[in-house]
Amino acid sequence: MKIIVGLGNPGMQYVATRHNIGFEVIERLAYETGIRLDKRKFKAIFGQGQIAGEKVILMQPQTYMNLSGESVRAVMDFYSLTPREVVVVYDEISLDLGQLRIREKGSAGGHNGMKNIIAHLGTQEFIRFRVGVGPQTPGMDSADFVLRRFNKEEMKIAIEMALKTAEAVEAYLRNGIEYAMNHFNG
């Protein structure tokens, strides 16, 4: 079983913001695979099903970004899963909008949601799909930038990125991490 976690913030005021691209990817995956996000537990909204023959939990933590690790840890403990069975999808301001970077492990890179997940898991060794939402506007605070909504042109690219990232997650589940990295990193 794998947990596919999309990071974001709950609430209508955060819909279509850069920080919520992880939520968008989970919604796209749910739609494409017929998995209903209809359960509330573990401080999250989630659904269970299968993708590419793999049992999965698609999850959107409802704790706000900087406490996302609470939800991830709760699900892991309940299902007796290891960090290697966790996949986190999140926004990355150091990557241009439209870029995707898949990694098997790594640091939080200044991302508060990732810092909290790493703290709760006790390791940096879990798979992550970093979805580019940059470049950051010069002189703008990082928090203000990621909480800004996409403009009309950016929204088209963000929707394409959510589709591409969902496809990359499915490819990972079907063919493994090396395949996904070789075909989708760029």
Is pLDDT above 90 for 122? Answer: yes
Above pLDDT 90, what percent of the chain? Answer: 98
What is residue 137's predicted lDDT score, i.e. its pLDDT?
A: 87
102 close to 87: Cβ distance less than 8 angstroms: no
Q: In this structure, which amino acid lies at residue 74? A: A
- State pTM to two decimals: 0.97
62 close to 71: Cβ distance less than 8 angstroms: yes
120 assigned to active site: no
**In the chain, how many domains are there?**
1
**CA–CA separation, 101 vs 164, rounded Å?**
11
Q: In this structure, which amino acid lies at residue 42? A: F
Which position has the token pair 């063919």? Answer: 175
Which H/E stretch holds residue 46?
strand 44-51
Tens of pLDDT, residue by residue over 81-109, are 999 999 999 999 999 999 999 999 999 99
23 close to 12: Cβ distance less than 8 angstroms: no
Of 19, 111, 120, 183, which residue is the catalytic one?
19
At 63, which CATH number? Answer: 3.40.50.1470
Tens of pLDDT, residue by residue over 3-40, are 999 999 999 999 999 999 999 999 999 999 999 999 99
What is residue 186's predicted lDDT score, i.e. its pLDDT?
A: 75
Structural domain range at position 17: 2-184
Pairing verdict, β 54-61 and 2-6: parallel
